[in-house]
Amino acid sequence: MSNKLIDLQHITKAFDGNVVLDDLNLYIRENEFLTLLGPSGCGKTTMLRIMGGFETPDRGSVIFDGKDITSLAPNKRQLNTVFQKYALFPHMSVAENIAFGLRIRKKSEDYIRDKIRYALKLVNLEGFEERTPDSLSGGQQQRIAIARAIVNEPKVLLLDEPLGALDLKLRQDMQYELIRLKNELGITFIYVTHDQEEALTMSDTIVVMNQGYIQQIGTPEDIYNEPKNAFVADFIGDSNIIDGTMIQDQLVEIFGVRFACVDTGFGTMKPVDVVIRPEDLELIPVGEDAEPDSPAYQTAVSRATQINPGFFEGTVSHVIFKGMHYEMEVQAKGFEWLVLSTRLFQVGTRVLMSVDPYNIQIMNKPESEDEMAVKLDEHL
Amino acid sequence: MKTKRRFWMDGPYLIWTAAFIVIPLFTIVYYGLTDKTGAFTWSNIAQMGTPERLKALVLSLLLSLLATFICLIMAYPLALILTKMKIGATGFIVSIFIIPMWMNSLLRILAWQTLLERNGVINQILGFLHLPKQYLINTPYAIALGMIYDFLPFMLLPIYNSLEKIDSNVVNAAYDLGANKLQAFWKVIFPLTLPGVISGITMVFVPALTTFVISDFLGGSKVLLIGNVIEQQFTQVGDWNVGSGLSLVLMIFILISMAVMQHYDKDADDRVTAL
């Protein structure tokens, strides 16, 4: 797992003066399922096309297995691409599509026949040899595109938003299929998507990108639980991102209320971004007209302060049933907090809202674009 | 009510088809298969059998095949270059090819006549350079040149359109799977443009086979194409029956050529549409 299979060094690429990738460094290890995740226009597809050989970087180099392949033609590279919208050859049957790469390499017809059968079995489309691409559903075309790529036994499979055109259910099925394929083939997958759920489900490593910079590299757990900045926190799942002030180590002030937290080393009285996941906010109901000095109110306060010395008082303003949980909006301190809970609090309920110190993420405010980029040596 | 509305929708087209396609066609068939008294005869068809007419037919076929072939090998690379160019530049080049089509084709052929004549522009330039004059006009080559010049856009546009429609990732996929440029072209790009090539061939070959204007102006009376032979029957001899009979024979050649083309087109089509 430790071998660097692909090493991208100082990659810079601009289109018509528009910088898409700026001095980007990234390495991909053998057997890794690595996902490039980011909003459209973040440069993730350009990265993939540079690896596939369809774009040449303006600066920087692509090292593959120790060799510089920056200017090597795509047909000489030991990697295969599964294109967005599949790009099957419409004038060929499924079998001819899959055989394309093998015929180019002048493999024997026996070998090709075996490979086609093997590949179709692998993608669960046995018996589809004579069908034509346009008689297949999107999901089936997708699988054929994968079969066409993997029969060439590439060391790396590049996948460019391969599930983008499929409906939700099919997309989820295909995610499991891809994980299974990756495990059976034992090759490196580099996957491009803007869908954070897809990235979290399948990847060993996620690279979050924005505006040509890498924002964070890490395991799905790292990325979700320890987002490095407000962009990552916002892009991966829902978050409450608030301005705060780091009073001192382990103490942060939000909207004038001081909360205990676990982060240290931010200095004193430093403005920071505070991120709290909606499922981490805990609500404690308070009676409709309980006076602040009434016993009911005091009980609620003591329950809240058990969680964190700091808490807010607010009112539930909106509730949506989401099946597994309720999604609620709570008005507190003039801010709309997103809260997920399996427990329902009706609209209008007065609540105290608190959060475990471990679940408060403190981040430096980005001062410039450059600072948002994560340095290479921070990779795991 | 419903049928009435149907008629108002389809009616104009039905009338058009009847008036300008079906009736003229039957008129030609009628004249072609009858003599002056109106009695049925094959003799008009058999008129094609004279050596002079057979020679004109063979020459027509050869010249139109030559012109079609040259149009194809000129238009395809040009269309390839056009698809690789930036949008603005493409529009400019395409319009360079289209704008001459807005001019009367007679004028364009007349221009060639002026260029190729015995004392025309080209020979004057040759004379100025102290080079011997060339016999350019009134040769089969002059006619082929006129055909190529006149019909090249009809080859270019369908090929260009079919190239435009190819998803660039389909071509990238060919490279990705190890194909070099030549392999990607013959295995992917060319087969996908086959419908455009076929319609280009049809759109050049058919008018080239039937032309009499180009051969009139650039072939003089020395080179007769089958189009001229038929034209003479109507305009000079005034024998509509023989003219129609010869037209029917030519029509059969066109139908055969279109059937051959359809056959290849279908090959490409079947692959795509068959389940």
**Would you give per-residue pLDDT tens digits along chain A (380 residues)?**
457 899 999 999 999 888 899 999 999 999 999 999 999 888 999 999 999 999 999 999 999 999 999 999 999 999 999 998 889 999 999 999 999 999 999 999 999 999 999 999 988 899 999 999 999 998 899 999 999 999 999 999 999 998 887 888 888 888 998 999 899 889 999 999 999 989 999 999 999 999 889 999 999 999 998 888 889 988 888 889 999 999 999 999 999 999 999 988 888 899 999 999 999 999 999 887 778 888 888 888 999 999 999 999 999 999 999 888 999 999 999 899 999 999 999 999 999 999 999 999 998 887 644 444 444 334 43
Report the domain count for chain A. Answer: 2
Is B139 or B8 the better-scoring residue by pLDDT? B139
User: Are A152 and B192 inside 8 Å of each other by CB?
Assistant: no
Pairing label, strands A18-29, A257-260: unpaired
**B275 and chain A: CB distance < 8 Å anywhere?**
yes
Q: What is the CATH number of the domain that holds B234?
A: 1.10.3720.10
Q: Is residue A83 part of a domain?
A: yes
Identify whether residues A85 and A196 lie together within a single domain.
Answer: yes
What does the alpha-carbon distance between residue B74 and residue B200 come to, in Å, rounded to a whole number?
12
Residue of A nearest to B187 (CA): A100
Residue of B nearest to A102 (CA): B177
User: Are A83 and B173 inside 8 Å of each other by CB?
Assistant: yes
Identify whether residues A49 and A195 lie together within a single domain.
Answer: yes
Rounded to the nearest 5°, which phi and psi values hold at A214? -85, 125
Residue B260 per-residue DSSP state? H
What does the alpha-carbon distance between residue A48 and residue A34 come to, in Å, rounded to a whole number?
11
Enclosing domain of residue A248? 238-364
Nearest to B179 among A75, A87, A134 (CB): A75
Q: What is the CATH number of the domain that holds A244?
A: 2.40.50.140
For residue A132, give how far its alpha carbon lies from the nearest alpha carbon of chain B (Å): 6
Q: Is residue B171 part of a domain?
A: yes
Residue B258: what pLDDT? 87
Q: Is residue A36 part of a domain?
A: yes
Residue A76: what pLDDT? 92
SS3 A270: strand
List pLDDT tens digits, range B164-210: 999 999 999 999 999 999 999 999 999 999 999 999 999 999 999 99
Identify whether residues A220 and A104 lie together within a single domain.
Answer: yes
For residue B201, give how far its alpha carbon lies from the nearest alpha carbon of chain A (Å): 20
Identify whether residues A221 and A272 lie together within a single domain.
Answer: no
Residue of A nearest to B193 (CA): A91
User: Are B187 and A93 inside 8 Å of each other by CB?
Assistant: no
Residue A84: what pLDDT? 87
User: Are B272 and A132 inside 8 Å of each other by CB?
Assistant: yes
User: Are B172 and A83 inside 8 Å of each other by CB?
Assistant: yes
Identify whether residues A204 and A314 lie together within a single domain.
Answer: no
Query: What does the radius of gyration of chain A's CA atoms come to, in whole angstroms?
Result: 25
List pLDDT tens digits, range A218-234: 999 999 988 888 899 88
For residue A99, give how far its alpha carbon lies from the nearest alpha carbon of chain B (Å): 10
Q: Phi/psi zone of residue A124: left (φ > 0), alpha (ψ -120 to 50 degrees), beta?
A: left
What does the alpha-carbon distance between residue A124 and residue A96 come to, in Å, rounded to a whole number?
18
Residue A19 per-residue DSSP state? E
Pairing label, strands A360-364, A188-193: unpaired
What does the block give as tokens for A288?
């409709």
A59 in Cβ contact with A8 (< 8 Å): no
Residue A2: what pLDDT? 55
A54, A89, A128, A137, best to mutate vs chain B, most B CBs in 10 Å: A89
User: Are A81 and B187 inside 8 Å of each other by CB?
Assistant: no
Q: Phi/psi zone of residue A239: left (φ > 0), alpha (ψ -120 to 50 degrees), beta?
A: beta
Q: Is residue B193 part of a domain?
A: yes
**A83 vs B contacts (CB less than 8 Å):** 169, 172-173, 176
Identify whether residues A82 and A25 lie together within a single domain.
Answer: yes
What does the alpha-carbon distance between residue B32 and residue A60 come to, in Å, rounded to a whole number?
76
**A104 vs B contacts (CB less than 8 Å):** 177-179, 183
Nearest to A87 among B169, B183, B274 (CB): B169
DSSP chain B: -HHHHHHHHHHHHHHHHIIIIIHHHHHHHHHHTB-TTS-B-SHHHHGGGSHHHHHHHHHHHHHHHHHHHHHHHHHHHHHHHHHHS-HHHHHHHHHHHHHHHHS-HHHHHHHHHHHHSTTSHHHHHHHHTT------TTSHHHHHHHHHHHHHHHHHHHHHHHHHTS-HHHHHHHHHTT--HHHHIIIIIHHHHHHHHHHHHHHHHHHHHH--HHHHHHHTTTS--HHHHHHHIIIII--HHHHHHHHHHHHHHHHHHHHHHHHHHHHHHHHHH--
Residue B104: what pLDDT? 84
Total beta-carbon pairs less than 8 A apart between chain A and chain B: 77
A131 in Cβ contact with A97 (< 8 Å): no
The interface residues of chain B toward chain A in range 22-61, judged by CB-CB distance below 8 A, are none
User: Are A87 and B273 inside 8 Å of each other by CB?
Assistant: no
Residue B182: what pLDDT? 95
Q: Is residue B119 part of a domain?
A: yes
B79 in Cβ contact with B71 (< 8 Å): no
Q: Is residue B219 part of a domain?
A: yes
**A271-292 CB burial, b ≥16 within 10 A, e <16:** ebbbbbbbbbbbbbbbeeebee
Report the domain count for chain B. Answer: 1
SS3 A44: helix
Residue B89: what pLDDT? 75
**A92 vs B contacts (CB less than 8 Å):** 271
Pairing label, strands A67-68, A59-64: antiparallel
B88 in Cβ contact with B94 (< 8 Å): no
Q: Nearest to residue B167, comparing CAs of B151, B152, B188, B183?
A: B188
Enclosing domain of residue B159? 49-273
B163 in Cβ contact with B80 (< 8 Å): yes
List pLDDT tens digits, range B66-114: 999 999 999 999 999 888 887 777 778 778 877 877 888 888 889 899 8
Identify whether residues A245 and A128 lie together within a single domain.
Answer: no
Q: How many helices and strands, by DSSP H and E, does chain B display?
A: 14, 0
Q: Is residue B14 part of a domain?
A: no
**A74 vs B contacts (CB less than 8 Å):** 172, 175-176
**Residue B275, pLDDT above cutoff 60:** no
Identify whether residues A262 and A199 lie together within a single domain.
Answer: no
Q: What is the CATH number of the domain that holds A78?
A: 3.40.50.300
Residue B266: what pLDDT? 61
User: Are A87 and B172 inside 8 Å of each other by CB?
Assistant: yes
User: Are A84 and B169 inside 8 Å of each other by CB?
Assistant: yes
What does the alpha-carbon distance between residue B193 and residue B175 come to, in Å, rounded to a whole number?
18
Identify whether residues A247 and A142 lie together within a single domain.
Answer: no
Neighbours of B131 (CB within 10 A): 10
Amino acid identity for residue A236 in this structure:
I
For residue A78, give how far its alpha carbon lies from the nearest alpha carbon of chain B (Å): 9
Question: Model pTM?
Answer: 0.79
**A135 vs B contacts (CB less than 8 Å):** 274-275
